[in-house]
Amino acid sequence: MFHALADPSRRSMVDRLCRGPASVSELAKPLDMSLPAVVQHLAVLESSGLVRSEKVGRVRTCQIEPQALRTAEEWINDRRLGWERRLDRLGQFLTEESDD
């Protein structure tokens, strides 16, 4: 998932899809790349579980998978909380050392 989000173009697509479903053509419009390149990026997002798509006729519509984003958010929050606890302990230690 984080590999998929590492690319700025894919993050741009995810940002757009957070506002609602979009066709591949709509996702490609603001990007400076060919349609096949956009499709390759979408394949990475789909294989990571962040995006799913459905083809109706000739139009492929993509949408975000909210649970996948929640999973990433939970992982990041767990790391953040761990670092905050460590920094709080360090601050407490430094305060105690300066009082001595």
pLDDT digits (tens, 9 = 90+) for 7-65: 999 999 999 999 999 999 999 999 999 999 999 999 999 999 999 999 999 999 999 99
Round to whole Å and give the CA distance between 10 and 27: 10
Helix (H) or strand (E) holding 23, with range, is strand 22-23
Q: Is residue 96 very low, low, confident or very high in pLDDT (cuts 50, 70, 90)?
A: confident
- Domain positions in the chain are 1-64, 66-100
Q: Which amino acid is at 32?
A: D
User: What pLDDT sits at residue 98?
Assistant: 81
**pLDDT score of 99:** 77
pLDDT at 63: 96
- The pTM of this model reads 0.78
CATH, domain 1-64, list 1.10.3720.10, 3.40.50.2020, 3.30.390.30, 1.10.10.10? 1.10.10.10
